[in-house]
Chain A
Amino acid sequence: MHPSRTVSRRSLLASAAALAILATTADGRNISGNLPWSPFAGDPPKPVNPLGWYFFTPGEAATVEAIADRLIPADHLSPGGKDSGCAVYIDRQLAGSFGQASRLYTKGPFAKGLSTQGYQGDLTPAGRYRLGLRALADYTHATYKKDFVALTPAQQDVVLAGLDGGAIILKLKPGFSTKEFFELVLQGTMEGFFADPLYGGNKNMASWKMIGFPGARYDYRDHIDKHNVPYPRGPVSIYSAEG
């Protein structure tokens, strides 16, 4: 059998049959006439509790905060990644549905995907963070005899550039490269910096103020004809009742 041919004709037919059986027993609902409606309905996103850590150990949290502060250093434009709450955002995501990959199929068989198809292994995002942060601690201890947080900012930049550029190879799992770990943390940090504050990051909507994004406003008709005039109103979040 050819090694790449992991899905046989027989298993394809078997899974198609299984799908047909599942589909007939699936719980469906027909809606005709009026759309259903009930009073007090609503499924708003729940604002995260800003205190404590839900997934990270204190050591992991400190490391992620230090990384976020190098990826987004505090300057005259905005506070840094740590003070913006990026690590809080990532922690809450990893403790929730995203961290458990709850909407993804994570069992085998594992094929090698294209780079555009993302991670193909059995680790959840939470598992990848845990593995990556442990391997990073192992690396900094082997190289500097220190935690990442104890390195100077210049040393931290060298390590991060190494993770990104291929100069440093951490001991991870096959199918999960060091560069993928770096990109996972970079992605989470950017999301935490720019997402709605209700998710734990973007404290005081600092990033939105920096780029002039007015946030979750949804009516600009009083401004739409004012060409080349900056929008005068500050940002609002999903939970801002006034603005």
Chain B
Amino acid sequence: MSSSLISRSGSRLRSLMAFATVALLTASPAFAASNAGKYQAVLGDCEGCHGKNLAGGVALETPFGKLVTPNITPDRETGIGTYSLEDFRKAMTQGVGPGGKLLYPAMPYPYYARMRDGDIAVLWSYIRSVKPVKQAQNVNQLRFPFNIRFAMHGWNLLYFQPTALAPDSAKSAVWNRGRYLVEGAAHCGACHAPKNFLGADKPVLTGGLLQGWYAPDLTGNKVSGIGNWSGDDIVDYLKTGRNAHSIASGPMADVVENSTMNMAGGDLVAIATYLADLPPSGGPGGGVDRRDMQLQAGARVYRMNCAACHGLDGKGSAIFPPLAGNANVTQALADTAARMVVAGSKAVATPAAPTGPAMPSFAWKLDDAQVANVLTYIRNNWGNSAPAVEAAVVERVRAEK
């Protein structure tokens, strides 16, 4: 009896001491900076490319060859443990490592260049605080001539404009915060902006093709963009991975899981405010004649393979996303939609929407022409309107199997 009392009071003492230590740590400026810095890492989705432990090793397929993300833990040999704050700031905002080594713009420094000095400083405190991992990465696996880092000088001269965003006094503070996040740390355009022939992002969020996915139009276009989404819809999507219009899957599933899901509510509202205000894009560029043979054949494929979940009316259900009015299927390029049919797709699972439903692969059953037909049908039914899909797009996705 008495011995159990002693051990109980002993454990109480230990927990008190632990509490005191935590209180001490949280009160220290270093901890506060690292905590605020961790939030900057969430905003910038560092884990998305550098991995959960930030030790890198994630392969990025670019049109110019393969880049493997570097180790950014504070390990002194294989990570960035020898960096100073100034080294880190230059890498983030100028794309230049210590010794003048040029970074490739797969590292979104054209976006991070817009981050405020204070935000970068607290992010650096956080990076300094994570566990060092000794793990070397063979970063540059690009093809000639892109493997010559010096060439990035020319690229930077052409496309890199490291200008801070001047607040727009005509807009609200919330809008300005949203722009700071979208065009800065959150680097939405790295995927959602169209690319030029050297991979530079154009300064609009009208959709872009990247690593075999077409990241959709985020403007106010009502067909291909999110013009029919309310501000709450955008917040729901970023917070839970789904809303009444769409479900996050593919690369966006990772973005939700690593980044937007953990953003503060106020920041999500700010992002939604900014996105909802983007002027509508020109859209995907015209639909298909109702008598088109692809449409007719696609309707038969749809009835057999898709209708059970997405409904003959294209409205979906509580679990399955609608296809009517779903911008993911009406993008200018149908690569993402083709990928979902051929490879299948898995929605992100978040604490608020934990199911994470999956779509099965139809590669075993539908040939390239049948997939192209059913996509053409989906893109031009229930009010949707987008160009016909060619079998070659489907063939390209299938080749990755």
Contacts and interface: CB of A to CB of B under 8 A. Distances in A.
Interface string B141-170: 000000000000000000000000000000
A39 B356 contact: no
Given A37-B344, A241-B365, A243-B300, 11 more contacts: A34-B349, A39-B361, A40-B344, A42-B361, A218-B308, A221-B311, A241-B301, A241-B366, A241-B367, A242-B300, A242-B301
A236 B360 CA distance: 20
B395 to A, nearest CB: 14
B297 A242 contact: yes
B200 interface: no
Interface residues of A, number: 20
B343 to A, nearest CB: 4
B308 A219 contact: yes
B308 A40 contact: no
B131 interface: no
B303 A239 contact: no
A41 interface: yes
A40 B342 contact: yes
Contacts of A35: 356, 358
Which 3 pairs, one residue from A and one from B, show the smallest C-beta to C-beta distance? A39-B343, A242-B300, A219-B308
Contacts of A44: 364-365
B301 A219 contact: no
A191 to B, nearest CB: 23
Contacts of B365: 44, 239, 241
B401 interface: yes
A242 B361 contact: no
Interface range on chain B (Cβ under 8 Å from partner): 20 to 34
A242 B343 contact: no
10 contacts: A35-B358, A40-B401, A41-B344, A222-B312, A236-B304, A241-B301, A241-B305, A241-B370, A242-B300, A242-B301
A33 B350 CA distance: 10
Contacts of B297: 242
Contacts of B401: 39-40
A33 B343 contact: no
Nearest to B312: A222
A155 interface: no
Interface string B291-311: 000000100110111011001
Contacts of B342: 40
A239 B297 CA distance: 16
Contact of A40 (B301, B343, B370): B343
B59 to A, nearest CB: 16
A41 B362 CA distance: 9
B346 interface: yes
A204 interface: no
Contacts of A240: 304
A222 B307 CA distance: 10
B363 interface: yes
B361 A41 contact: yes
